[in-house]
Amino acid sequence: DAGVIQSPRHEVTEMGQEVTLRCKPISGHDYLFWYRQTMMRGLELLIYFNNNVPIDDSGMPEDRFSAKMPNASFSNLKIQPSEPRDSAVYFCASSRMGSYNEQFFGPGTRLTVL
């Protein structure tokens, strides 16, 4: 298994630019999660999908953030426009129904907004 794949691994952008983070979950997994990790706030759940449908987006901080899952093999998280306070490591994770909720995490995307 290739595991959860995220791209890019590092992203540096300027304030106001659009940022797109990408995730490929493990094949056969039907849940996908987006998290954000910062020193100040720790690990935060932003949104999660079940069978490509968004279930809970209450963790999405603002309208500047959006996430989609057009098919079972791909999801993206967009920030438009980006701000310096969005700088963080963004993780994608996937899991399979009936697996006692074990989540498999990707390596993360480190985002720096200047």
Partner 1 sequence: GNSVTQMEGPVTLSEEAFLTINCTYTATGYPSLFWYVQYPGEGLQLLLKATKADDKGSNKGFEATYRKETTSFHLEKGSVQVSDSAVYFCALSDRPGNAGNMLTFGGGTRLMVKP
Under the binding rule (CB under 8 A), the answer on residue 75 touching partner 1 is no
Verify binding: residue 28, partner 1, rule CB under 8 A: no
Report the residue from 45, 52, 66, 74 that binds partner 1 according to the rule CB under 8 A.
Answer: 45
The residue count for the chain? 114
Q: Could you tell me the smallest distance in angstroms from the CB atom of residue 114 to partner 1?
A: 21
Give the C-alpha separation, 108 to 95, whole Å. Answer: 16
Q: In angstroms, rounded to a whole number, what is the distance separating the alpha carbons of residues 50 and 29?
A: 9
Tell me: does residue 43 bind partner 1 (CB under 8 A).
Answer: yes
Q: Which residues contact 8 (CB under 8 A, 6 or more apart)?
A: 21, 22, 109
User: In this structure, what token pair is assigned to residue 86?
Assistant: 């969005």
Residues that bind partner 1 (rule: CB under 8 A) add up to a total of 25
Q: Which stretch binds partner 1 (CB under 8 A): 18-26, 62-70, 80-88, 96-104?
A: 96-104
Q: Are 113 and 13 in contact (CB under 8 A)?
A: yes
Pick from 26, 108, 111, 113: which binds partner 1 (CB under 8 A)?
Answer: 108
Neighbour tally for 107: CB within 10 Å: 14
What residues line the site for partner 1 (CB under 8 A)?
4, 31, 33, 42-43, 45, 48, 50, 55-56, 91, 93, 95, 97-108
